[in-house]
Structure 1
Amino acid sequence: MTAEPQSDATAVSVKLNYATRGMKFPNDPEIIRGRVRKLLRNNQYELKETDAVLRIVKEGDVVMELGAGIGYMSTLVATKRAIKSVHSFEANPNLIPYIQSVHAANGVTNATVTNAVLGKRKGKVDFYVRDDLLGSSMTVLEGEIDPPGIKVDVLNTRQVMKDIAPNVLICDIEGAEVDLIPEMDLTGLRAAVIELHPQWIGPEGVNKVFRAFMEAGLAYYHRGSQGKVVCFRSEW
């Protein structure tokens, strides 16, 4: 499930640190607002993940991104590295047109975005959409009562990995990494950048994610890791 880019969006340049200069983001007040707008203006948006991604992504890579957000990371790798392609999966259908408009505004032609999540088997899953679109998730937060939910497609993880054959993984899926990462066939990856959410998955969940990568032959890469953003790679 995808949507057409918003051709009438007004693009504004936002200069960012870590060689992300020149990326453009359509001025959509429903998405570029509040904290997101402030971080973009102050050159602070996803700084740790940006640094990590630019350290590990190389020319010719096939990148899989889980949790596309505003299309920042997919645009970053497509414009700052001569990658073969980037394939993004985003659960929130309200973000799909915006992501596509970001790609269009930046002349990105080797990126795809799919409105779906990955899982053990195909089907549907509840996804809770919040006023803060980037805070939407598959989890009911503590204190929430009947949050607005929609059904999102679930695609088989192993089949998608087989079809795309990525060698780099970027993942920021609000705690769902604890269940998804161990289900993935990680053996074909050269490197990965994962934003962990220990506040939700706890120490056991963090260990579970680390164990999955280590069993696939990837080691913790300290130079690319900062706080909750951790890198793994198979070469030294």
Structure 2
Amino acid sequence: MTSVIERLTARLRRAFRVRRISFDGFTLVGYRHGVPKSMTHALLAGDYENPERHAIKGVARPGDRVVDIGACMGVVSLTAARIVGAEAVVAFEPNPAAAIVAAENFALNNLPVKIEHAAVGVAAGWATLTVGSSSWLGAAIGGGHATTIEVPVCAIGDVIAQYRPTILVLDAEGMEVDILPACPMGGLRAVVAEFHLSSLGPDSVEGLRRHLRAEGFQRDAQLSEAGDLVCTEAWTREVRTT
């Protein structure tokens, strides 16, 4: 629980529009033109991407390789890099503005995670990315009333073949319904995924869970968090090495 002192400190930083924010042991980009205020406010409140960070802290260990799809500002990628090393993490972020901030956050913390300025989908190509004006967390591929840009898409099969992750972090704003079934699972021992109930519906999300179970994964209840609109879930399995 956030203490009174922490809440007061967050309010002072918000009032003075600090350029750098200390968050979970990291130094991150703070207030500046082009960065949605809601993102900075979430960092100051100390609750930015809490379920994802909690899950990756629970599943990652030295020797893992992590692919983070939908990295946004790079905080989950940084959390993974602190455990497995920056050289073992690759972040995918299609929103150019968010990707720039992520790269700066990696540099600020001397954790040079590789960042791919691309979305991930079933097949390689191009797609329309809709970026909300108030938050990068709501960016989604498809239609909408916010700003739209054309972004490159990497095929999930190619991503897995190139980077050979043992952990997949998937925050694809509803695209998980396509990406996860198409993902080669052979080398993965853990999946941390956001399931978007609001856009996919409970039946589609349950179908993704059945798919993971069929691949030998089990949901870790202690590392997962249910929600009415979004569920963050950690799925793990033992992978035999030859």
TM (normalized to structure 2)?
0.83
Could you give the per-residue CA deviations for residues 111-170 of structure 1, whole angstroms, max 9, x where no partner exists?
1111112222221111112212332211335xx4xx432111111211220111000011
Partners of 1:74 and 1:192 in 2: CA distance: 14
Residue of structure 1 equivalent to 2:22: 14
Segment of structure 1 superposing worse, 80-89 or 46-55: 80-89
SS of residue in 2 equivalent to 1:121: coil
**Does the 8 A contact of 2:65 with 2:165 survive in 1?**
yes
Question: 1:55: Cα distance to partner?
Answer: 0.4
Closer, same or farther: CA 31–50 of 1 in aligned 2, 3 Å: farther
What amino acid is the match of 2:220? Y
More relative contact order, 1 or 2 (CA 8 Å, 6+ apart)? 1
Segment of structure 1 superposing worse, 211-220 or 97-106: 211-220
Could you give the per-residue CA deviations for residues 21-43 of structure 1, whole angstroms, max 9, x where no partner exists?
32011234245543322221121
Question: 1:98: Cα distance to partner?
Answer: 1.0
Residue of structure 1 equivalent to 2:73: 70
1:149 and 2:153 correspond: no
Question: 1:211: Cα distance to partner?
Answer: 2.1
SS of residue in 1 equivalent to 2:120: strand
Partners of 1:226 and 1:22 in 2: CA distance: 23
Q: What's the Cα RMSD here?
A: 2.0
1:235 and 2:241 correspond: no
SS of residue in 1 equivalent to 2:199: helix
Alignment of 1:31-42 (within 5 A): 32-42=35-45
Partners of 1:151 and 1:205 in 2: CA distance: 27
Count of residue correspondences? 217
What amino acid is the match of 1:23? F
Partners of 1:33 and 1:121 in 2: CA distance: 31
Could you give the per-residue CA deviations for residues 150-196 of structure 1, whole angstroms, max 9, x where no partner exists?
11111121122011100001111111111111111122111111111
What amino acid is the match of 1:76? T
**Does the 8 A contact of 1:11 with 1:105 survive in 2?**
no
SS of residue in 1 equivalent to 2:141: coil
Could you give the per-residue CA deviations for residues 43-82 of structure 1, whole angstroms, max 9, x where no partner exists?
1111121111100011111001010111101111112444
Partners of 1:187 and 1:214 in 2: CA distance: 14
Residue of structure 2 equivalent to 1:47: 50
**Does the 8 A contact of 1:129 with 1:136 survive in 2?**
yes
1:167 and 2:184 correspond: no
Closer, same or farther: CA 11–44 of 1 in aligned 2, 3 Å: same
* Alignment partner of 1:120 out of 119, 122, 126: 122
TM (normalized to structure 1)?
0.85
State the identity as a percent. 25
Q: Considering fraction of residues, name the structure with more helix.
A: 2
Partners of 2:20 and 2:164 in 1: CA distance: 34
1:210 and 2:209 correspond: yes
Question: 1:103: Cα distance to partner?
Answer: 0.2
Q: Which runs of 5+ in 2 are unaligned?
A: 1-17
What amino acid is the match of 1:120? V
**Does the 8 A contact of 2:30 with 2:40 survive in 1?**
no
Q: Which runs of 5+ in 1 are unaligned?
A: 1-9, 16-20
Residue of structure 2 equivalent to 1:92: 95
**Does the 8 A contact of 1:121 with 1:156 survive in 2?**
yes
Question: 1:107: Cα distance to partner?
Answer: 0.4
Partners of 1:221 and 1:185 in 2: CA distance: 21
